[in-house]
Structures are given as structure tokens and as C-alpha cells.
Amino acid sequence: MGALIRSLVGGVVVGLASVLVAATAGAGSAAALPVYPVADPDPFFSAPPDLAAHAPGEVLKLRQMPPNLYFPGSQVWEVLFSTKDSQGHPMAANTTFLLPPNRVPDGPLVSYQHIINALGNKCKIATELYTTDPFTQIREAPGLNIALARGWAVTLPDHLGPRMAYGAAKLGGQITLDGLKAVRKIPEFQAANSPIGLAGYSGGGMATGWAAAMAPTYAPELNIVGAAQGGVPMNLGKMAQALGANPHPAFGLAMAAALGLEREYPDRINVSGQLNDQGRWLQDMIKNGCTNEIMFWGIGRSAAQVTDNKDFMNYPAAWEVMDENSLELYPGVPDFPIFEWHSPTDGLIPVDSIDNTLRRYCGAGTPVESLLTPTPDHLSAAVLGLPRALDWMEDRFRGDAAPSTC
């Protein structure tokens, strides 16, 4: 049940969070610092003192990990690399690299962006691979094992960054690209000349979509041959307007994403300073939480319960942040083929924003194949589209001409 809930709310949470941010982010609100996560106790993830001297995409640390039950037979490596946050400040991020036994030098490389609905460092993919917690599982492992069986190397970036800035979509794309820059430089991986594929669904699809759109200008040196992105929330503002501020079973995740956006944009969004006693209690309960904890403590709550600010949705800074993290409004266009899938009646994300974004990509000459899954909901679309996405990616690695439904 936990895995089902986590997947189901993956696409809706950012929109709900946007409601809460808009409702609690006033320019005249009381000053309060964001509540950041407890630092990862593993010193490997600590940035070195000379971080500012490293350009984005440089390798800071590297270590090989023990064998992993999720990915039997594959080597597991952890990489710490340099990147920047949304304000342009130096930051360290990490990715987990999977090296299958049948890998050939410069063979295909897939960057897979997981759905990560969390605020705590204990919830990172790098940590969950080795946790004994039965409720924090790598849900996408079966599909990734298909990729590994084909000889593809896989890199799994923790695209929320060290602040666990849940909801900061553009940051996720940037971390994804800088992680790829880094792994190409590591001799043990033999990936310097690998063709690269991007993939992800829902929140992971959002990081994938941003990486694809940013790649031509931010990382033109990467040989990206295609991106498979599903169920992508393309416009956070539209989601905020559509969902309103009523009580919701996934409100805990909405609150978490609001706090995550505050962590990433502390000079523009003030959630913590607007919370009442109930809001501060909920913040304390989830500030280092993973999905199940966040869902449990926030179920059925609403923005009206956690803040006394009744002037909803009237703060330009919050809307500007949502716009900056909305792919529909970003002018960048991928210069490689796109495979996109979603339910035509997905009630969690604005489908018209997907259509508008893909139409713009088509108009710019990008081959786009769009698959409408024969299912009415967000969750089942994820499962139904993945096999086709993997086959589509194999065709790109083989060099076949990309089909288009433009």
C-alpha cells in the first residue's frame, strides 16, 4: 500500500505544494529561516572545503559500494560531484552508478531520475539502496534491471540535492546534467564516449524533462541520444489554480514540497514564518521525513489549518518561482528525440500543458513520439509506458531514426 500511495501522489504533490507556497509566501511575512534537513551522517556526502574552486560536473569523491540485492551482479559506485543551486552558489550533489557485468567500454548509459517524495537525507536513493526499512524500496528496480541486462550502465542522481529541495524541478534537471558530466570523467566507468539516454516518470520525469530542455545550452558536450519522460507536471501554476486549498489525503506531501521550495528559494519564499502552531508542529514532524512519514502526519490537512494567513494566492514571488519551475514556460527545446507518455485523462497533472510543451518541441523540429496509455489514471500509466520507453531507448542507442507523432 505504501508504494501505491507514493506513486499515486507523485504527480499531484508539486501542485498542492504550490498552493501552500502561494498561500504562505508573503513579502510582508514574518522573518523565519527555512528548516533544513539533518546532514547526512556519512562524511562521504560532505562537500570539500575547496568546493568553490570546482566547476559544475567535476568529480569530488568516488567510492565503490558493496554488492546490492536490488541490482544483483552489477557493481555499485557512489559519486560526489560539484554543481550549483538555483541561486548559482556552489553545491555538492551525488549520484549512484550501476555497472553491469556485460558492459562494454563506451556502451550505452542511462540517467534514470527516480520519484523522490521526501525531505530527509535518509530518503536518498544512495541510502535506500542499503536500508533495512521495508517501506523505503527502490520501486523502479525491475525496469532498471532490464536496462542493466541489456548491458547499459545506469546512473541514479539524487536530484533533490543535499538540502532535499523537494519541488525544485529546474534544480533537478541541472543536477542530472552535472552528474552525467562527472561520471563521464571517471576511468573505471569507461563512459567518456557513451551515448546517453535520460528517463523518468512523474517527479522523476520532471527532472528528466528539465535536463532534456536545458541540455543544449547547459551541457552541449553530452552525447544525449534521447529522453523518455512520462507523466510530467509541466506547469506548477496551473496545478495550483486547479487544485485549490481544500483538505487532501496527500497534504503532507504538499507541505513537504512547500518546505522544499523554501529551502531552495529562501530569499523569495517564506513558508516557515507564516506557520501557526499546527503548522510548526507538522513541520517538525516531517522536516526529515520520507514519504510514508510525511503522508501519515499530513493526511487530511489543509493550508487553512497550518497558517492563519487568509490572503491566498496573492504573492508575485511565489508565482514567479512556480513559473521558473514550469517546463511549459521555459523557452529551451531539446535537440534530441523525445518519447513521452501519459494517461489522456490524468487527473493529477494538467494534460493541456503537456500538449502545449510537446507542440512547441515539434514546431522547433524535435522528433516527439507521444504515447497515450489506455488507462484513466496517473499510476497505471507509469507501468504501462515503461516497456515501450525502454524499447524506444534501445532504438536510439542503436542509431535508428526516431519516429514522431508530431
Query: In this predicted structure, what is the pLDDT of residue 243?
Result: 57
Is the predicted pLDDT of residue 388 greater than 60, yes or no? yes
Position 248 confidence tier, pLDDT thresholds 50, 70, 90:
confident
Residue 182: helix, strand or coil by DSSP?
helix
- Does residue 310 or residue 151 have the better pLDDT? 151
- Does residue 108 or residue 377 have the better pLDDT? 108
Cβ atoms within 10 Å of 339's Cβ, excluding its own: 28
Position 13 confidence tier, pLDDT thresholds 50, 70, 90:
very low
Position 31 confidence tier, pLDDT thresholds 50, 70, 90:
low
Establish if 245 belongs to a structural domain. no
- SS3 sequence, 329-357? HCCCCCCCCEEEEECCCCCCCCHHHHHHH
Query: In this predicted structure, what is the pLDDT of residue 245?
Result: 67
Is the predicted pLDDT of residue 9 greater than 70, yes or no? no
Cβ atoms within 10 Å of 72's Cβ, excluding its own: 10
Query: In this predicted structure, what is the pLDDT of residue 25?
Result: 44
Q: What is the mean pLDDT of residues 50-70?
A: 96
pLDDT digits (tens, 9 = 90+) for 109-143: 999 999 888 999 999 999 988 877 665 667 778 88
Query: In this predicted structure, what is the pLDDT of residue 30?
Result: 52
- The DSSP output letter for 71 is S
Is the predicted pLDDT of residue 7 greater than 60, yes or no? no
Establish if 264 belongs to a structural domain. no
Establish if 339 belongs to a structural domain. yes
Label residue 106 left, alpha or beta by phi (over 0 means left) and psi (-120 to 50 means alpha).
left
pLDDT digits (tens, 9 = 90+) for 272-292: 988 999 999 999 999 999 988
Q: What is the CA radius of gyration of the chain?
A: 20
Position 257 confidence tier, pLDDT thresholds 50, 70, 90:
confident
Quote the CA–CA distance of 358 and 5 in Å, as a whole number: 28
Query: In this predicted structure, what is the pLDDT of residue 136?
Result: 61
Share of the chain above pLDDT 90, in %: 63
Closest by CA to 338, choosing from 391, 291, 285, 403, is 403
Q: What are phi and psi of 355, to 5 degrees?
A: -60, -45
pLDDT digits (tens, 9 = 90+) for 63-81: 999 998 899 999 999 999 9
Closest by CA to 222, choosing from 175, 172, 180, 171, is 180
pLDDT digits (tens, 9 = 90+) for 318-348: 889 989 999 999 999 999 999 998 888 876 7
Domains contained in the chain, number: 1
Angle at 397 between CA 392 and CA 402, to 5 degrees: 50
- Domain coverage including residue 384: 2-236+323-398
Is residue 24 within 8 A of residue 18, CB to CB? The reply is no
Query: In this predicted structure, what is the pLDDT of residue 5?
Result: 35
pLDDT digits (tens, 9 = 90+) for 202-246: 889 999 999 999 999 999 999 999 999 988 888 887 776 665 667
Position 11 confidence tier, pLDDT thresholds 50, 70, 90:
very low
Chain mean pLDDT for the chain: 87
Establish if 107 belongs to a structural domain. yes
Is the predicted pLDDT of residue 155 greater than 90, yes or no? yes
Share of the chain above pLDDT 70, in %: 88
Is the predicted pLDDT of residue 55 greater than 90, yes or no? yes
Position 307 confidence tier, pLDDT thresholds 50, 70, 90:
confident
**Single pTM value for the model:** 0.91
CATH assignment at residue 203:
3.40.50.1820
Is the predicted pLDDT of residue 352 greater than 50, yes or no? yes
